Amino acid sequence: MQTEFSKEQDLLRDVVARALRDKSPATAVRESMATDRGYDPAVWQELCGDAGLAGVHVPEVHGGAGGGAVELGIVAEEMGRRLFCGPWFASAVMAGTALVEAASDSDRDELLPGVAGGSTIATLVLDDLNAPAGVGGSITSTEDGKLSGTATMVLDAHVADLLLVVASGAGGLELHAVEGGASGLAVESLQVVDPTRKLSRVVFTDVPGRRVGEVTGDTLNRIWDRICSALAHEMIGGAQHLFETTVNYTKERFQFGRPIGSFQALKHRCADLLLEIEIARALTHHSARCLDAGAGEPHAASMAKAAAADAYMSAARAGIQLRGGIGFTWENDAHLWFKRAKGSEVLFGTPAIHRERMMTMLEGAA
């Protein structure tokens, strides 16, 4: 399998990296995270409406750029590097992937162009964010398409025009489309550890939904893998950024008459961290290539999610520890990445859950 990016993919990365450097500096992250909405609609319009970043992985017939998991990963990595605040992950990655993988042709025709073009903000409602096996335990749908139940945590539901809901129907899991503001829908913003990613509790009481497709176990796992691969990319971008700024800090901070980066205790920790990030990055990029090729290890996405989460947390812990006292202040930016790392570590399965998922794929259940 390929281990390199194409020229076009490198170009995509350059363009996205430049846009995010301009549009998502730490000052903008702090402004957005302090608002209830959580993002700047003008920036959303530029990045997703004009530049098409919500549709990189959506087929061209549905208004996207026709890329795959690799292109989606490139955007996710650059977004993660800058802690981009906005419903891109919920709308493009989660809802977009669910529509591509599970919706009927006519529903895709109707719903995907808005999501791909950024004019519709969508989210995917799952009543379990730990493992695919738990999904469908709470939200049920009736014969005539009425949804009831609770999703305890939904990304960016507070700003969603469209909610795609995985619910238990008579014959198994189904994907339903629900309009934001539908009757019987209650969206309640939650207090979160990571203020750059907004979460809501969503309660359905006989909410009118439209069944847009069925979700078999295979389909749910495929959606889960694609989301996890994109999330791993986001984490690798964040880990890399935090790592670079931390190493730079050790070169500039003087104690005992010398830069603290000249002490082996710090140098060796940074060398170990580089190795951990390099390995996680390789697994992450590999997971996207496996998804696009429909080949390689079936557990590639779980390897990526587990390794990237551990590497991001290592980078986050070092990012604070190596800065010393200032690293623990609100004023310093390190905590912003630390909190994103912590949130991403547990979203869509902790590393331990993914390691068990890998082993089950390799060897069967314990």
Partner 1 sequence: MTPDRIRSEVSAWLDANWRVDRPLIEWREILLDGGWAAPHWPEEWYGRGFTLDQTAVVAEVFRERDVVPAAQVGPRGLASETILACGSDDQKRRFLRPILTGEHTWCQLFSEPGSGSDLAGLSTRAEMKDGKWIINGQKVWNTSAHHADFGLLVARTDWDVPKHQGISYFLLDMRQAGVEARPLRQMNGHQSFNEVFMTNAVVAPEDLIGGEGNGWHVAKTTLSFERRGFSRRVRGSSLDGPKQGPIYGEYEEELRIATEPYTWYPQREGRVDLVLPRARETGAINDPATRQEIAKLICLHTGARLASDSAEASRKAGTTEIIPAGSIGKLAASVIARQASHVHTMISGADAMLSGPDSAADGIIAEVLVSVPAISIAGGTDEIQRNIISERVLGMPKGYRADQGPFRDIKRNA
Question: Which residues of the chain form contacts with partner 1 (CB under 8 A)?
Answer: 3-4, 247, 250-251, 258-259, 261-264, 266-268, 270-272, 274-275, 278-283, 285-286, 297, 303, 306-307, 352, 355-356, 358-359, 362-363, 366
Residue 106 vs residues 29, 100, 169, 208: alpha-carbon distances, Å: 38, 11, 21, 19
| d(C-alpha 293, C-alpha 295), whole Å | 5
| d(C-alpha 97, C-alpha 286), whole Å | 19
Specify the residue, 5 or 153, whose C-beta has the smaller distance to partner 1: 5
Contacts of 20 (CB under 8 A, 6+ apart): 47, 78, 79, 81, 82, 84
Q: How far is the CB of 239 from partner 1 (least distance, A)?
A: 14
Q: How far is the CB of 100 from partner 1 (least distance, A)?
A: 26
| d(C-alpha 220, C-alpha 216), whole Å | 6
Q: Is 195 helix (H, G, I), strand (E, B) or coil?
A: coil
Q: How far is the CB of 292 from partner 1 (least distance, A)?
A: 15
Specify the residue, 273 or 320, whose C-beta has the smaller distance to partner 1: 273
Specify the residue, 54 or 307, whose C-beta has the smaller distance to partner 1: 307
Specify the residue, 23 or 355, whose C-beta has the smaller distance to partner 1: 355
Q: How far is the CB of 66 from partner 1 (least distance, A)?
A: 25
The full DSSP string for 96-128 is HHHHHHHS-HHHHHHHHHHHHHTSS-EEEE-S-
Specify the residue, 281 or 340, whose C-beta has the smaller distance to partner 1: 281
Up-side HSE of residue 81: CA atoms within 13 Å toward CB?
21
| d(C-alpha 341, C-alpha 196), whole Å | 11
Q: How far is the CB of 126 from partner 1 (least distance, A)?
A: 24
- Dihedral-angle region of residue 58 (phi above 0 means left; psi in -120 to 50 means alpha; beta otherwise): beta
Q: How far is the CB of 305 from partner 1 (least distance, A)?
A: 10
Specify the residue, 170 or 366, whose C-beta has the smaller distance to partner 1: 366
Q: How far is the CB of 129 from partner 1 (least distance, A)?
A: 21
Specify the residue, 241 or 281, whose C-beta has the smaller distance to partner 1: 281
